[in-house]
């Protein structure tokens, strides 16, 4: 599925739903708008997030790791970058971009072929369920 590498397992649905009880959640993805929308619909994950952002909607030059893509999140939720925990699987587009923008970063190796842990990442998880420990969710 290209940019969206979410191999959603049933347990991930549960984790995301638990996160939504305490936190706002969103998905930020790069790629051709129509293709990304079709992928999200095919995966059936629209209802797992409070909002879904398509970075390319502001032009290809504004995709991750551009700060403009991360700014969309802060503008929508009316928050500061320091109030966002960004979970990603790409060392440059996700981790480096979010970190440079001032967000706390969590690198997950669950959905990626990149195996070197980005040094910029504040946290590393192997499975999305581990995010509960970082967020203090049972």
Average pLDDT of the residues in 94-122? 88
| pLDDT for res 12 | 77
Q: Is the pLDDT confidence value at 112 over 80?
A: no
| pLDDT for res 76 | 97
Question: Global pTM?
Answer: 0.87
| pLDDT for res 134 | 94
What is the spatial distance between Cα 68 and Cα 59, in angstroms, rounded to a whole number? Answer: 10
Residues 119/15, Cβ–Cβ less than 8 Å: no
Give tens-digit pLDDT for 77-91. Answer: 999 999 999 999 899
Q: Whole-number mean pLDDT of the chain?
A: 89
The closest alpha carbon to 45, from 94, 5, 97, 87, belongs to 5
* 58 to 11, 49, 53, 64, 82: CA distances (angstroms): 33, 20, 10, 11, 23
E-strand ranges in 6-91 read 26-29, 51-54, 85-88
Residues 93/30, Cβ–Cβ less than 8 Å: yes
What is the spatial distance between Cα 5 and Cα 21, in angstroms, rounded to a whole number? Answer: 24
């Amino acid at each position: 599925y290209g940019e969206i590498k979410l191999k959603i397992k049933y347990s991930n649905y549960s984790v995301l739903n638990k996160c939504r009880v305490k936190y706002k959640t969103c998905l930020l993805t790069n790629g051709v708008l129509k293709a990304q929308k079709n992928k999200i619909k095919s995966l059936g994950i629209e209802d797992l997030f409070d909002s879904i952002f398509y970075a390319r909607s502001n032009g290809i030059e504004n995709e991750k790791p551009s700060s403009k893509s991360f700014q969309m999140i802060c503008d929508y939720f009316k928050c500061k970058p320091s109030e966002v925990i960004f979970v990603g699987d790409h060392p440059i587009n996700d981790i480096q971009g979010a970190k440079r923008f001032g967000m706390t970063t969590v690198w997950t190796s669950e959905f990626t072929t990149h195996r070197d842990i980005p040094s910029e990442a504040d946290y590393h998880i192997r499975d999305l369920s581990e995010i509960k420990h970082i967020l203090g969710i049972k």
